[in-house]
């Protein structure tokens, strides 16, 4: 794909689609080359050498919004998703806007798919600078006694095992560079017990534990790990909540509103506040991955309109 060369002088603001991106302000290297903060380098060749970002669950919702925003800010994006059609559509949208992206599809809880995602980033773009573990599935608001083995295994495998496998695969490449950023999508359900079923709540608490462990284990290697904890967000994971008349949040799977889990959780849904759009979540993800957040490590950032404060 042919990209337009940007001729930037030191201190110039860089605009993409009319927006100023202060993370990528031009500065001059010792050799006189044009360089962008955040590892974006401009040379006399019409090629864009931005940071390499893997975003999972990037075919829709928060993941798609994050992939598009990263691309707008100059990143080269690996769009990873289970759905090949939506992943390709996101890549095409990025390319149509002048960005750079490639799609990898498959079940991200499968080690072979994980290896393919990371190897694609390395082979196509030269490494991994940022990993966004966003892909997740919901449960049926199921209380512990009613959780089947199949529901438990699937939720834990997608929501926890997959982020762990991807992180483990990406870390050697970040360690080799001496820097990197990992942003995990946790949930309001990871901050309490009233925003999801047992399996989903456990999985998101564990994602927060993974985030904090990474922050401690790898801070001396220049690698940061943070997480967002979204509240009610308008994505295709949700539909009208059982028993709720004030929000549009609920789990993608069919629920029985008379069962203990939905019956118990439903009253708490009145505290969710305004439903966010996916781009509001993506904005925080991109910030946490950027050099603007260079001293933020191990943070869990609620993006929930104050729901977690109640």
**Residues taking part in catalysis:** 200
Two tokens, residue 280: 């509001």
Burial (CB count <10 Å: 0-12, 13-18, 19+), residue 305:
middle
CA atoms of 131 and 282, how far apart (whole Å): 13
Phi, psi (rounded to 5 degrees) for 289: -80, -15
Q: Are 158 and 199 in contact (CB under 8 A)?
A: no
Q: Under a CB-based contact definition with an 8 Å cutoff, are residues 51 and 286 in contact?
A: no
For 160, which DSSP code?
Answer: I
Helix 61-72 to helix 278-289 angle (10° resolution) is 50
Q: Is-contact 229 301, C-beta < 8 A?
A: yes
**Cβ atoms within 10 A of the Cβ of 39, count?**
18
Instruction: Measure CA of the first residue to CA of the last residue in the chain; give whole Å.
Output: 49
Pairwise CA distance, residues 167 & 182, whole Å? 8
Task: Select from 307, 62, 66 the least CA-distant residue to 189.
Answer: 307
Residue 148 burial (C-beta neighbours within 10 Å; 0-12, 13-18, 19+): exposed
Q: What is the DSSP string of 273-286?
A: -SPEEHHHHHHHHH
Strand-pair partners of 229 = 302
């Amino acid at each position: 794909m042919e990209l337009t060369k940007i001729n930037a002088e030191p201190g110039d603001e860089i605009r993409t689609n009319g927006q100023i991106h202060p993370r990528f302000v031009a500065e001059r290297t010792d050799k006189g080359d044009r360089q962008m903060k955040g590892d974006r380098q401009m040379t006399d060749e019409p090629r864009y050498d931005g940071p390499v970002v893997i975003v999972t669950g990037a075919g829709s919702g928060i993941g798609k919004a994050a992939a598009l925003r990263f691309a707008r800010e100059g990143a080269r994006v690996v769009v990873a998703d289970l759905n090949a059609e939506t992943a390709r559509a996101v890549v095409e949208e990025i390319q149509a806007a002048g960005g750079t992206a490639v799609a990898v599809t498959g079940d991200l809880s499968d080690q072979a798919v994980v290896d393919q995602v990371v190897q694609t980033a390395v082979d196509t773009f030269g490494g991994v600078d940022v990993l966004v573990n966003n892909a997740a599935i919901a449960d049926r608001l199921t209380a512990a006694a009613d959780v089947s083995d199949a529901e438990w295994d699937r939720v834990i495998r997608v929501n926890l095992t997959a982020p762990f496998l991807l992180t483990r695969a990406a870390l050697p490449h970040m360690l080799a560079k001496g820097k990197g950023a990992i942003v995990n999508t946790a949930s309001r359900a990871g901050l309490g017990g009233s925003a999801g079923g047992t399996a989903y709540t456990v999985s998101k608490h564990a994602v927060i534990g993974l985030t904090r462990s990474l922050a401690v284990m790898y801070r001396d290697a220049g690698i940061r790990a943070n997480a967002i904890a979204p509240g009610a967000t308008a994505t295709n994971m949700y539909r009208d909540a059982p028993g709720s008349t004030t929000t549009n949040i609920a789990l993608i799977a069919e629920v029985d509103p008379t069962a203990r889990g939905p019956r118990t959780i439903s009253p708490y849904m009145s505290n969710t506040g305004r439903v966010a759009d996916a781009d509001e979540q993506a904005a925080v993800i991109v910030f946490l991955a950027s050099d603007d957040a260079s001293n933020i490590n191990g943070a869990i950032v609620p993006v929930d309109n104050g729901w977690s404060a109640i």
